[in-house]
Amino acid sequence: MIGQFILRRLLGLLAVLAAISIATFVLARVVPKDPARLIAGPRANAQAVEALRERLGLNGSIPEQYVRYMAALLRGDLGMSFSTKRPVLQDIQTFLPATAELTIAALLISLSVGIPAGILSAAWKDSPLDYIGRFASTLGVSLPPFWVALVGQLVGYYLLSVLPVGGRLSQGIAPPPTVTGLYTLDSLLAGQWATFADALWHLILPAFVLSFGVIAVFLRMMRASMLEVLQQDYIRAARAKGLTQRAVVLRHAVRNALIPTLTILGLQVGLMMSGSFLIESILQWPGLGLYAANALLAADYNATMGVTLVLATIYTVANVIVDIAYGLADPRLRVT
């Protein structure tokens, strides 16, 4: 039963990834700019452009190009970036750790702030604390991320001059020895405390901006889930036994209320990684989002397709993992 449930989810994952590869390939091939002309440059003559188009296989039909693309993709070949003149896979390996570090930091902030705030808001419903939490959650889902990034940059850098803007490290500080690609973790592993402090200092503003809306989502979900759990009979029985509000909330309510909240964890991870495009561009964080934004502006469809496939894979895999974990925790979901 469990094996069939996991197998269905994995087959669904493969189908989704195949559909994404087809959609991104077709959209990339119908862009108005000619990739061969972009690679050859504006001074290349028509014969050189046509020869390059033939070498790249751009003269074939869309199905033929897709078959060649998938054959290369299965070999780990995402093509060459027209703008950086490097393999797209190499570029992704270079820029992905920065985005992963930003996403992990933002997720930790979101969980450590949003979930406790939702618990407190529900436990003391209709109190001033609850009103503050509800107002903060409404504000978090209402303000556009780019506006939060611009305001954070204005206040943290230009007005207070307490936070840096752009980059992962200050000038003159060398990156730590690469183990994971995450500067904060790698500097800790190397015992480079000054590098760790500087990397963390650069991470504060983009991580806070990226987590701003996600905190509101976790807060609202946790509050709604807690309010539902607190109305259950076993909670009333616990209160009838004379347990304090703190004991009722922490020992009995939180554990059950966390389950539906954590189901959106995979979704939020994918949304944060895809939402990093705009934030990385505004705050000049050298991650995959900034790389993808530059690729879009340059009509670099190989780089655009590569980033899209990587982010879609991460997004889909994260959701499937959460789905499987939720199904293992709740047997009722295995029949779907």
- Average pLDDT rounded to a whole number, residues 223-244: 83
Q: What percent of the chain has pLDDT over 90?
A: 23
DSSP alpha helix (H) spans, 175-264: 183-190, 193-229, 233-240, 245-247, 254-262
Residue type, 38: L
- Average pLDDT rounded to a whole number, residues 37-51: 73
Q: How confident is the model at residue 81 (pLDDT cuts 50, 70, 90)?
A: confident
Q: How confident is the model at residue 13 (pLDDT cuts 50, 70, 90)?
A: confident
CA–CA dist 9, 4 (Å, integer): 9
pTM to 2 decimals? 0.84
- Average pLDDT rounded to a whole number, residues 307-313: 83
Residue 70's pLDDT is 82
Specify the 3-state DSSP secondary structure of 87.
strand
253 vs 122, 225, 248, 256, 263, CA distance in Å?
A: 11, 9, 6, 6, 17
- Average pLDDT rounded to a whole number, residues 77-89: 84
Pick the range with the lowest mean pLDDT from 30-44, 49-63, 67-81. 30-44
Q: Structural domains in the chain?
A: 89-299 (1.10.3720.10)
- Dig out the tokens for 219 from the structure: 């807060």
3-state helix/strand/coil string of 195-220: HHHHHHHHHHHHHHHHHHHHHHHHHH
Q: How confident is the model at residue 327 (pLDDT cuts 50, 70, 90)?
A: low
Residue 188's pLDDT is 94
Q: What is the mean pLDDT of the chain?
A: 83
Q: Which residue has 């789905």 as its token pair? A: 323
